[in-house]
Structure formats: structure tokens, C-alpha cells
Structure 1
């Protein structure tokens, strides 16, 4: 080493005494710096309380006698499980659960399948009217469901007159109704997700001899499970939580669990001893499938909802 090199090289003491730059602020610190620490604690506490207190009361009330719940008691004098036994004979909860599972499950599967195929065509192929379809998918989300209730009912009622096909009061009619609202949202979710997939994987599969259908089945679908799960779960929730269309499009044999709960709740108004304990237990049982669904597909939901957020 030459003398000039030794002179230019900084000594260990100089390096140790050199001023240290300000550490880079992490993303978490940048986000949490918006609110002071004490205010964040207050806001989070209020949000958690707003969610847990009503659910906690429903859980406690489901183990209380109907008289205690009707009297407005918060702390139970006795704990009973009879509400979970009697509710099955008080309201047709089993039939409603079966109808909701069948209708919502079929809507989720069909919606996810059609949305995946449609989104693949919209993202990977250029054709006339492509942008119009994409804009139409967004515009359809702004239409309120109550605005379409009467036209859909009249259209399905006319099918009985002109085509001799009964749609009103059947599960088929409810499935078609829910697909009307689930498909635009599911398709847009898949469009957003497929835009983030690299084209090189599909081009490599085509070089190996895959057709567009083969690429969709062997490459796109296995890589798109988070987006497919998001589309299917939201379509399932649309059918599970709906009361408006289900109350008009069904009859007692095909009514969903949401309609059964609504009828059960309305029947308790003005009663001698309202069966509020059974109503609380019925609500928890009806919410259980959705909770289990979220727990099973939680990691897919997070990945699918955040897809396309960072480019």
C-alpha cells in the first residue's frame, strides 16, 4: 500500500467518531405518528368496545332465561342452555340454514368461476368494447339494490306467464338474483388481482404448447387463489346476509336464515313473554358459519384484498 493510500484511508478512531445520520423512519412509525400515543389508545379502546360489547351481551343473553332478557337484565341470575335446545322447534332455523348454505354456496362458486374467466379475458385480450365493460362494472356498483327489486320481481313473474317457468319462490330465482349483484364486484376483484400477475409465466406456458384455456387452468387459477377466495367469500356473504330480496323472492319452504330471523324477531313484538333469549341464541348460531368461513380463509382474504395495492 502506498503512502497516499494510507493517508486517504480513514482511521478506526475517525470512523468511530464520525457523526451518525438520523435513522430512517420505519413505515410503522410513519403511520402511528399521525396520532399521539394516548389518543391512539383511546380510539382503539372505543373501537374495540363498540364491537365487543354488543356481541358480548348477545352471548350472555343467549344463556339467560327469556324473562330475564325481557326485563333488561345484564348480569344473569341463572345460566341455562335451554335456549339453544328450544329455538329449533320455535323457528324453522334448520330449514333456513340449509337454504342459505345451498343458495350462498352455489352463488359463491358460480360467481368465482365466471368472474375468473371474465377477468382473464378482460385483462389479457384486447377487443372492442373492453374499456366500456370495465367502466360498466364499476358503474354497476353504484346502483342501489332497492332500485332493482321491483324490475327483477316483475321480470321473474313474467316468466311464469310467457314461458311457463316458475322462478318466484324457488332457490333458482334467488341464485340468479344474487348473481346479478355478485358478478360485477367479483369480476372487478379478479381484474385487479390478475393485473398483478406476471405475463411471463403465461408466455412460458404458451411456448410449452398450452392453449389459452390450458394457461388459465394450469397457471392463472393456481396463482389466483387469494383473489378467487375474496370473490367467493363476498358473494357468499351477499347471499347470506340479504333480507330484502329473500323476503320477496321466496316462500316459507325456501326462505333463508336471514328471513327466518327477521320473522322470528317481528313475531316477538307485543308478546306476553318475548323469546329474546332464543332470539339471541339463534342469531349466534346463524353468525357461526360466517365466522368459521373467515377463520379458514383469513390468509387468502388479506392477500386478495391487498393485491394490486403496490406496483
Structure 2
């Protein structure tokens, strides 16, 4: 037994130098500088957010006087915005339009990306390059062509497009679909083909493989593409201002109009504007909190092969 112990190879003991080198390799900045940069970045986000929250709990007079900490806390602004800012209609329209855009963009992007990744045909590379090229076109340049196209469709086809929810939905889907498709192309390239081959051996059709194997495995990327499509419509003011009517305007337009109309008043209702901004941002924050575990996996997928 003594001989066995003597002849057993000794396990390598990690040295302090190796641990230090690994720690330095993982640290991009010195710790003091890293702490300073982190504090500055957090302050740039948290200080304005804290001011918005406190201003929404203050009175309009208190905010106009420049009070950072309210002398008295009140939720009156949150009850007034539903009538003064017409926020309920805007939130409903935004949720309907952006929700449909997110779902349609994620599903169509997944199907399109599956065809582009798994099949070879003429024009495939041209389509992939076009998806990247479309991301470089500013949406502002497309406002007038889209408006003229929708107006012409109403004149020649007798279909009312401008001022409807579905017209705005088509406009947002046009810009969201290329990005969603490219996100799914990047993700599907990392999925092994053996999973599909196993499904075909079991007698599964292409559609069954797509909906039973590919989509469940691609859920993080689908969530990412859907959330970005949702944000594209939720944050847009330009297209929504031109392509909607008062009864179909989105929350971003309602908030922008409310802030602009109250700016020149005798007493600007800054507290109500801050409250309306927080209420408009709440669905997006809730969306991130619900799907944050999918966002990390979906954004980093495909980056390492």
C-alpha cells in the first residue's frame, strides 16, 4: 500500500501566478477604474429615472418651481393623464399593433430563416446580403414613399390604409421583418442538422420538424426578434404621426402631442407628463422582466462557433 501511494502521480497544484494571470485576463479594466465607470454609468441612468418618478409624484406647481424632492407626495397626476393625455386609447392601439408586429415578425422571420439556412437555391446569397443592406436604410427616408404608396392604394383600390391600425402594422412589419430574419439566420446556423435528420427518420414532415423541433429550440432567438420588433413600433413617433388618426394614434404619439400642447401653457403640467411617460414605459419594462432569461441566450447565440 505504501508503494502504491509512493508511485501514484501527484496532482498538479495550481500556483498563485496562474490564478492571478487568469484574473487579470478576465478583467478589462483595473478595479478602481472599473468601479468609477460603473458608478458613473449607473448614475447616468438612475438619476434621471429617479427625477421622473419623484416629479410624477409631485404637483405641477412643485415641478415648475424646480423641486427635486416633493414637499408632498400625490398620485393625482396618474389619475388625470387618462383624460388629459388620452393615454388609454394610445396604449391600447400600441399594444394591439406592436403585439401583432412582434408575433408576425417572429414567426415569419423563423420560417424565412429556416429556408435560407437549410436550403440552397438561386438568389439565396443575394437575399442574405439584402437583409444586411436593408438595415442601413434610415426609416426617415422611407416615410414619404410609404405614405404615397398607402395613399395610392386607397385611391386606386378603394381601400383605406392611412389612418388604420393594420396600415401601421404593415409599415412596422416591413422594417421589423429583415432584422428578425437575420437574427434567426444567425441562430439557426448553430443548430445541428442531426436533430432534423432524426425527425425525418421517425417520419416527420418538414412542417412538423419546423414547429416541433426547430421552433422550441429557437425560443430564445424568437423572443429576441419579437421584442425588438415590439420596441420598433412602441418607440416610433414619425410613422405613427403620419399614418394614424386621433382614434388610432399610438401611445408615443399621444405622449408627444400631450407634451407639445402643454408646453406653452400658463402652468406646464410637467408632473402629468412625467406620469404619462412612466405609464408608457411600464409595458416595455415588464416585457424585459418577463423575458430577460431568453434575451441573454438569444443575443449571445451564434456569436461563438
Q: One fold, TM greater than 0.5?
A: yes
Which of the numbers 23, 26, 30 marks the counterpart of 1:31? 26
Q: How does 1:40-119 map to 2 (within 5 A)?
A: 40-119=34-113
CA distance in 2, matches of 1:291, 1:251: 27
User: Residue in 1 aligned with 2:117?
Assistant: 123
- SS of 1:72's partner is coil
TM-score by length of 2: 0.94
CA distance in 1, matches of 2:65, 2:155: 51
1:288 to 2:286 alignment: no
User: Residue in 1 aligned with 2:219?
Assistant: 225
**Residue deviations 1:187-222 (CA, integer Å, cap 9, x gap):** 000001111111100000011111111110111011
**Residue deviations 1:18-76 (CA, integer Å, cap 9, x gap):** 995842567664231x3211111110000000000001000000000001111211121
Which of the numbers 167, 174, 177 marks the counterpart of 2:168? 174
CA distance in 2, matches of 1:236, 1:205: 33
Post-superposition offset of 1:120: 0.3
Post-superposition offset of 1:16: 9.8
Post-superposition offset of 1:11: 9.0
CA distance in 1, matches of 2:16, 2:66: 62
CA distance in 1, matches of 2:23, 2:156: 62
**Residue deviations 1:78-111 (CA, integer Å, cap 9, x gap):** 1111111111111110000000000000000110
* 160 and 241 in structure 1: CA distance in 2 versus 1, 3 angstrom threshold: same
Q: How does 1:120-269 map to 2 (within 5 A)?
A: 120-269=114-263
Post-superposition offset of 1:161: 1.3
**Residue deviations 1:227-265 (CA, integer Å, cap 9, x gap):** 110011000011111001000000100000000000001
**Residue deviations 1:112-139 (CA, integer Å, cap 9, x gap):** 1100000000000011111110000000
Unmatched 5+ residue regions in structure 2? none
CA distance in 2, matches of 1:18, 1:209: 53
User: Bigger CA drift: 139-148 or 19-28?
Assistant: 19-28
User: Bigger CA drift: 268-277 or 92-101?
Assistant: 268-277
List 4+ stretches of structure 1 deviating above 3 A: 9-12, 15-22, 24-29
CA distance in 2, matches of 1:211, 1:193: 22
Q: How does 1:267-306 map to 2 (within 5 A)?
A: 267-306=261-300
CA distance in 1, matches of 2:156, 2:22: 62
The CA RMSD over aligned residues, in Å, is 2.1
**Between Structure 1 and Structure 2, how many residues are aligned?**
302
- SS of 2:34's partner is helix
- SS of 1:252's partner is coil
Unmatched 5+ residue regions in structure 1? none
**Residue deviations 1:162-203 (CA, integer Å, cap 9, x gap):** 111110000011000001100000000000111111110000
- SS of 2:263's partner is coil
CA distance in 1, matches of 2:24, 2:53: 37
* 270 and 27 in structure 1: CA distance in 2 versus 1, 3 angstrom threshold: farther
Q: Which has the larger radius of gyration?
A: 1
